[in-house]
Amino acid sequence: MESGSLNSQVIYRKSLALRDMSEAVASYFSYNRDRRTFRKIDSFRNDITQSLRTDASLIAKEVEQAALSNSNTARMKSLTFINIMTRNILAYCNGLERDGVKEKEYLNLLRREIKAFRSSFKKWRKSFQNGND
């Protein structure tokens, strides 16, 4: 990232860690574990795991976009979008649990990761509002 901001670099690294953990959890719980196949297995769990992968990937992209943007309006849209996606990931964890996932410790790890990310994200978002970043 070219922004040069230590804060932005930290939150970006955290978004990548969140993306990687989300990908691992989604892969573990997906019924369709071979992502290279084009065969689509329709299930609630696969819908959730695909959404988990997508949203976690979008968070990293939006963090980068917000950090590099010169437009306050565009930056605020990205920050709002990130906030929504982090809430979605917590909802996906709940959905997987309701779908009968037995290995709740993996979901709890992801929940802790998202909560840690959100804590750092809130501080980072405030730095934009204060004009420090």
Tens place of pLDDT per residue across the chain (133 aa): 444 466 899 999 999 999 999 999 999 998 755 455 444 555 889 999 999 999 999 999 999 999 999 999 999 999 999 999 999 999 999 999 998 899 999 999 999 999 999 999 999 999 887 654 4
Examine residue 60 and state whether it is found in any structural domain, yes or no: yes
Examine residue 95 and state whether it is found in any structural domain, yes or no: yes
Domain CATH code at residue 100? 1.20.1440.60
Examine residue 125 and state whether it is found in any structural domain, yes or no: yes
Instruction: Indicate the pTM of the whole model.
Output: 0.83
Q: Answer for the pair 111, 90: CB distance below 8 angstroms, yes or no.
A: yes
Q: Domain of 55? A: 6-31+40-129
Examine residue 1 and state whether it is found in any structural domain, yes or no: no
Q: Which pLDDT score is estimated for 6?
A: 62
User: For the segment 74-108, what is each residue's pLDDT rounded down to a tens digit?
Assistant: 999 999 999 999 999 999 999 999 988 999 999 99
